[in-house]
Amino acid sequence: MAGLGYNEIALVALAVFGSAIIKNSVGIGAGIFLLPFLALVFPAKLALGLGAPAMLISDVVGLRNYWREWNKKELGILIPPAVIGVFVGVIIIKMVPDTMFKVGVGVVAILFSSYHIGKSVFKRKDRRLKPVGQSANSKKYVTLLFGFLGGTASTVIHAGGMVMSIYMLQRPVDKRAFVGTLVVFFAVLNFLKIGAYLKIGIMSSEIALLVAAMSPIIIFGGWFGNFLNKRFSQDLFRVIVLMIIFLIGMKLMLAGH
């Protein structure tokens, strides 16, 4: 960690800043933006450990920005199975070799960005076929399943947003409640993940110090993301972010071969 050069430090700063903006503006893709970026500088599992405290700081900013704008009922059902998913995710991390893990980060980044770019292209058609709120009365077991999968994916690869976006985009909530609910959900998970990552040795005091040094950048990114959410259309911004995620994913996947 002490051997980081200026370019590496700048890349980490850009990663945590961009992730904070995404989390507080669109609510989806912050983790899967952050992890591939950090994996360009650190081994993939170390990057995973660094991502949790960075996102937790962003979550704290998000809690202030979206205070009481979340959906309590959704959270009450989603969080318990997500906690179980965290423990399952830790077992998976310990089993997967480092090289395969790095390639996996790249593959998930590509799949995530491709899915959402495709969804943006066919957005109007999707809205006609599946209006928002159509699945408001979906079965409780579906919510429990998505909570579990979100917790597992968040722990293994910080990709819980990819899972939860599929679920939350079908819920009858406005954009403030949408982001607010995701912020609370991932704040709980990131707090648990820090303890889990410390236990399996992919997080250390050095990582904590690095994240602490980056906290003003993360806080500013969270504020700026909230500013964007209130004032600007998010479609173009999301496409740009998704293209960046796609390109980084390609680089990581190719680097693993």
Mean per-residue pLDDT pooled into runs of 10, the chain (257 residues): 71 90 78 82 84 88 87 90 94 82 75 77 53 49 88 85 73 74 91 92 83 91 85 68 74 63
Quick count: other Cβ atoms within 10 Å of Cβ 3?
5
Sequence-ordered strand ranges (E) for the chain: none
Give the chain's mean pLDDT.
80
Residue 233, burial from CB neighbour count under 10 angstroms (0-12, 13-18, 19+): exposed
Q: Select from 257, 205, 232, 209 the least CA-distant residue to 24.
A: 232
- The percentage of residues in the chain with a pLDDT greater than 70, rounded to a whole number, is 81
105: Cβ–Cβ under 8 A, 6 or more apart, which residues? Answer: 35, 36, 39, 44, 47, 157, 249, 252
pTM: 0.74
Element (H, E) at 114: helix 98-121
Token pair 């945590």 is found at 16
3-state class of 161 per DSSP? helix
Asked if 167 and 143 count as a contact pair (C-beta separation under 8 A), the reply is yes
